[in-house]
């Protein structure tokens, strides 16, 4: 994709220190585990999946679970790129706009793993 069409700034995601789990479910109910996450924004996300049976324009659910928190949002596949049979594919997902605050909640749940939101300990003034 030569032109960056995303409307919101993308943030790098630190997958190696994330203890949560990302899951994709397609319209047929197939559950797919996410291999890697990249390019997170308030309106979308990039994923690498082992399975490769997806199409641009397809609507899928993206679920994030961590410490009893479960956030499920509806997304649309905006671009698809096959990598290999061993490494699967990469997808660019756009979050559906009609989900109220769920898109913001999803983004905020990931904030400590985004490069622009490095964890800073707050010290209480006593």
pTM over 0.85: no
Residues 6+ apart with CB under 8 A from 16: none
Supply the pLDDT for residue 9: 56
CA atoms of 22 and 45, how far apart (whole Å): 12
- Could you tell me the CA-to-CA distances from 79 to 16, 31, 34, 65 in Å, in that order? 24, 20, 16, 24
Of 112, 102, 41, 117, which Cα lies nearest the Cα of 71?
A: 102
At 22-72, the pLDDT tens digits run 889 987 888 988 898 888 888 888 999 988 888 999 999 999 898 888 999
One of 2.40.10.220, 2.40.50.140, 2.90.10.10, 1.10.630.10 is the CATH number of 15-112, namely: 2.40.10.220
Residues 93-105, mean pLDDT to the nearest whole number? 89
Supply the pLDDT for residue 1: 41
Q: Where are the domains of the chain?
A: 15-112
Residues 6+ apart with CB under 8 A from 18: 37, 66, 110, 113
């Amino acid at each position: 994709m030569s032109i960056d069409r995303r409307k919101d700034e993308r943030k790098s995601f630190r997958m190696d220190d994330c203890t949560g789990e990302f899951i994709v479910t397609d319209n047929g109910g197939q559950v797919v585990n996410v291999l890697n996450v990249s390019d997170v924004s308030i309106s979308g996300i990039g994923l690498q999946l082992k399975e490769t049976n997806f199409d641009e324009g397809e609507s899928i659910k993206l679920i994030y679970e961590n410490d009893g928190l479960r956030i499920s949002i509806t997304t649309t596949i905006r671009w698809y790129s096959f990598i290999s049979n061993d490494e699967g594919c990469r997808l660019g997902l756009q979050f559906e706009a009609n989900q109220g605050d769920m898109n913001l909640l999803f983004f905020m749940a990931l904030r400590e793993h985004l490069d622009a939101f490095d964890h800073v300990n707050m010290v209480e003034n006593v």
